[in-house]
């Protein structure tokens, strides 16, 4: 008998799943600005920052702070480990749902 697939608890939280799924739509190496991600997800800056910190601590996202001309800008991208974790998460979820049908 096969065990129940484990879902990554870092990604499984609804807000972090939304963040990860959104970033996974980008090509590897592409990034999005913090305000654009905030707008896409309709999240407050504080809420998004909290969830990004958790994803960053897990090594799933990379936060880069830079300047464009004299304006500070924060970029967010999914790391290779983050992409792999999201793929593993979706595979485990499909397996779990497939077993239920």
- Cα–Cα distance, 93 to 76 (Å, whole number): 25
Q: What pLDDT does residue 98 have?
A: 83
Give the model confidence (pLDDT) of 11-37 as tens digits: 999 999 999 999 999 999 899 999 999
CATH of the domain spanning 9-93, picked from 3.40.50.300, 1.10.10.10, 1.10.3720.10, 1.10.390.10: 1.10.10.10
**Residue range 56-87, pLDDT digits in tens:** 999 999 999 999 889 999 999 999 999 999 99
Residue 99 has pLDDT above 90, yes or no: no
pLDDT at position 101, please?
Answer: 56
**23, 32 Cβ separation under 8 angstroms:** yes
Domain boundaries of the chain, sorted by first residue: 9-93
How do residues 33-62 score in pLDDT, each as one tens digit?
A: 999 999 999 999 999 999 999 999 999 999
């Amino acid at each position: 008998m096969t065990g129940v697939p484990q879902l990554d608890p870092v990604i499984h939280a609804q807000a972090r799943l939304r963040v990860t799924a959104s970033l996974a739509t980008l090509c590897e190496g592409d990034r999005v600005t913090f305000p654009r991600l905030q707008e896409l997800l309709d999240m407050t800056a504080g809420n998004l920052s909290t969830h990004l910190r958790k994803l960053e601590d897990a090594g799933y996202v990379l936060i880069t702070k830079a300047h464009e001309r004299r304006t500070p800008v924060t970029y967010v991208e999914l790391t290779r480990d983050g992409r792999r974790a999201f793929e593993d998460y979706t595979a485990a979820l499909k397996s779990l749902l497939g077993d239920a049908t």
